[in-house]
Structure 1
Amino acid sequence: MAATLDGQLVVALSSRALFDFEEENQVFEAGDDHAYMALQQQRLDVPAKPGVAFSLARKLLAFNTPGSPQRVEVVVLSRNDPVSGMRVFRSAKALGLDIQRGVFTRGKNPWRYLKPLQAQLFLSANEEDVRSALSAGVPAARVFPQSARASAAHPDELRIAFDGDAVLFSDEAEQVFQREGLAAFQQHEFSRAQLPLGAGPFKPMLEALHRLQGAPRGEMRVRTALVTARSAPAHERALRTLMDWQVEVDEAMFLGGLAKGEFLREFEPDFFFDDQAGHIESASAHVPSGHVTAGVTNR
């Protein structure tokens, strides 16, 4: 009987999201993939340093407990060549990550493999790959390899923070803000407070985390946060939308345009997702961050 990923939370990470391959990537960006392959081959027995999504991967895998059905699968989906993929697998093993599956496409866009992998999240440093994944309906974000690494203060708690509009929710309200300004946005949301927002690209990811949270096993727990530039009275529609979805978040920050970085520093997420480059710039100095290249601000 064929193996199956049915019922699991499947997260696909590029090699640069999982490991710090920035030195090697400089060789690749110079246009010499053969030199890159040779360098990776020379370093096969040298474990790569953890990358920006390493803490996320480690904590997700910790939800799998011996003797019970596997709940989470982390796979590598990378533009790397197969030889470089060998170093990825060896590095994962050396650093204690139980990663068994990987697809390596040697420079070609790997997004087409997200569907057969049943991926519910894709993180990559390549913007083209992220946009393709989002267009295919897979929650995806462009990682910033130079982002701050996750705090080690919460070893038994997976912490994820999400922006609202164009991430958890549709960009319906953001379009009003971009077109007509803050006052029109506030009035638009106040008058529609009872009407749930449409789903954004990361609603399925929040729902998957909610399922993990609702069925704890072992020591690992989930803590989520909504971190949004909304403020009262626009806060109510966001909260009522979550209530309509029957999905909870543990913390909600309605910041009214304040920079998000210092608030995220205090929450200490393993990853933060936002659709606006300015918010990612503020956040990435403090926490691992990913740019969701969706919605009106990214067209």
Structure 2
Amino acid sequence: MPATLEGQLVVAISSRALFDFEQENLVFEQGDDSAYMQLQLARLEQPAPPGVAFSLVRKLLSFNSPGQPRVEVVILSRNDPVSGLRVFRSAQHYGLGIERGVFTRGQSPWRYLRPLRAHLFLSTHLSDVRAALAAGVPAAQVYPQSVRASDAHPHEVRIAFDGDAVLFSDEAERIYQAQGLGAFQQHEVDRAGQPLPGGPFKPLLEALQKLQSAASAGMQLRTALVTARSAPAHERAIRTLMDWDIAIDEAMFLGGLPKGEFLREFEPDFFFDDQTGHIESAARHVPSGHVASGIANP
């Protein structure tokens, strides 16, 4: 029987999103990839420190059990194959069950998302994220300066999402941008019973819903909607999720308040938002990624 990832949640991730390679990246950005390769090879026996998305990956992999793979994590990296040795060695050091990887030595690796049928792509390269989103793959640019995830919830994966242009389409956001808050509120009240079209991260949320049904006492999944919406525009968001038959554990309708401090209290392993201002606020408190989609990201 050929190997297959059918039925699994597939997460593709760059090496810099998973591990802290910021020191090494300074050498890479100088344009001498041979010096970078030599540095990585010299540090082969030195495990790389955990990166921004490390906690998310480690916890997601905890859903797997012998004979029952539910989550597949694949390294999808601009690193060269030699530097990939250290990536795999570091994953082994931390007990991460990562077996597959693609290393492209400076070329964009996003095209390999299609044969992987990935549900999520995390990368520090904005151009790769944009290409993935254009191809219909949920993707986010990881902010390497983000605060690392809290250790307060070792048996619970916590993921927070913005609404418009992330879980939902940017239909309502376009009204807000063009006509202001009043028009936006009225637009949403008038359409409260009409589900919003799905946004780029709807497929991921659906895949997480399936994973949640497989949760055990060993690892649980908790999700949150963190949005600038407020009443009365909240109703359409809730009814949309109900129409999709998706249950969100927490919903925060903040009416434009900064999201960072609320996220600090929720303590997610990762937060996704389409607006860089929100991400910069959130990154001071939690691991964060920019979803470069919708009207806010022309």
Query: Structure 1 length as normaliser, TM-score?
Result: 0.99
The equivalent of 1:240 in structure 2 is 239
Counterpart Cα distance in 2 of 1:260 and 1:282: 7
The equivalent of 2:41 in structure 1 is 41
- Supply the AA of the counterpart residue of 1:55: S
The equivalent of 1:264 in structure 2 is 263
Counterpart Cα distance in 2 of 1:8 and 1:167: 22
Residues 237-274 of structure 1 show CA distances to partners (whole Å, capped at 9, x for unaligned) of 00000000000100000000000000000000000000
Counterpart Cα distance in 2 of 1:155 and 1:12: 22
The equivalent of 2:291 in structure 1 is 292
- Supply the AA of the counterpart residue of 1:78: S
The equivalent of 2:29 in structure 1 is 29
Residues 118-171 of structure 1 show CA distances to partners (whole Å, capped at 9, x for unaligned) of 110000000000000000100000000110000000000000000000000000
Structure 1 segments of 4+ aligned residues over 3 angstroms from their partners: none
Give the secondary-structure state (helix, strand or coil) at the position aligned to 1:158. strand
Residues 170-206 of structure 1 show CA distances to partners (whole Å, capped at 9, x for unaligned) of 0000001111111111111111101000000000111
Counterpart Cα distance in 1 of 2:217 and 2:239: 32
Counterpart Cα distance in 2 of 1:137 and 1:261: 28
Kindly, what percent of the aligned residue pairs are identical?
A: 73
Q: Give 1:283 deviation, angstroms.
A: 0.3
Counterpart Cα distance in 1 of 2:276 and 2:184: 20
Q: Give 1:216 deviation, angstroms.
A: 2.0
Q: Give 1:214 deviation, angstroms.
A: 1.9
- Supply the AA of the counterpart residue of 2:156: E
The equivalent of 1:278 in structure 2 is 277
1:204 aligns with 2:203: yes
The equivalent of 2:7 in structure 1 is 7
The equivalent of 1:216 in structure 2 is 215
- Matched-pair contact (CA < 8 Å) for 1:47–1:87: yes
Counterpart Cα distance in 2 of 1:153 and 1:15: 25
Counterpart Cα distance in 2 of 1:2 and 1:225: 37
Give the secondary-structure state (helix, strand or coil) at the position aligned to 2:75. strand
Counterpart Cα distance in 2 of 1:248 and 1:10: 21
Residues 38-80 of structure 1 show CA distances to partners (whole Å, capped at 9, x for unaligned) of 11111111100000000000000000012x3200001100000
Counterpart Cα distance in 2 of 1:158 and 1:205: 14
Q: How does 1:55-134 map to 2 (within 5 A)?
A: 55-66=55-66, 68-134=67-133
Give the secondary-structure state (helix, strand or coil) at the position aligned to 1:166. coil
Aligned residues between the structures: 298
Q: Give 1:219 deviation, angstroms.
A: 1.2
- Matched-pair contact (CA < 8 Å) for 1:63–1:218: no
Counterpart Cα distance in 1 of 2:280 and 2:217: 35
The equivalent of 1:191 in structure 2 is 190
The equivalent of 2:54 in structure 1 is 54
Q: Give 1:218 deviation, angstroms.
A: 4.6
Give the secondary-structure state (helix, strand or coil) at the position aligned to 2:235. helix
- Matched-pair contact (CA < 8 Å) for 1:65–1:217: no
Counterpart Cα distance in 1 of 2:206 and 2:87: 29
Counterpart Cα distance in 2 of 1:242 and 1:109: 34
Residues 13-46 of structure 1 show CA distances to partners (whole Å, capped at 9, x for unaligned) of 1000000000000011111111111111111111
- Supply the AA of the counterpart residue of 2:218: E
Give the secondary-structure state (helix, strand or coil) at the position aligned to 1:222. strand
Counterpart Cα distance in 1 of 2:117 and 2:248: 24
The equivalent of 1:230 in structure 2 is 229
Counterpart Cα distance in 1 of 2:214 and 2:46: 38
Single out whichever of 206-215 and 266-275 deviates more from structure 2: 206-215
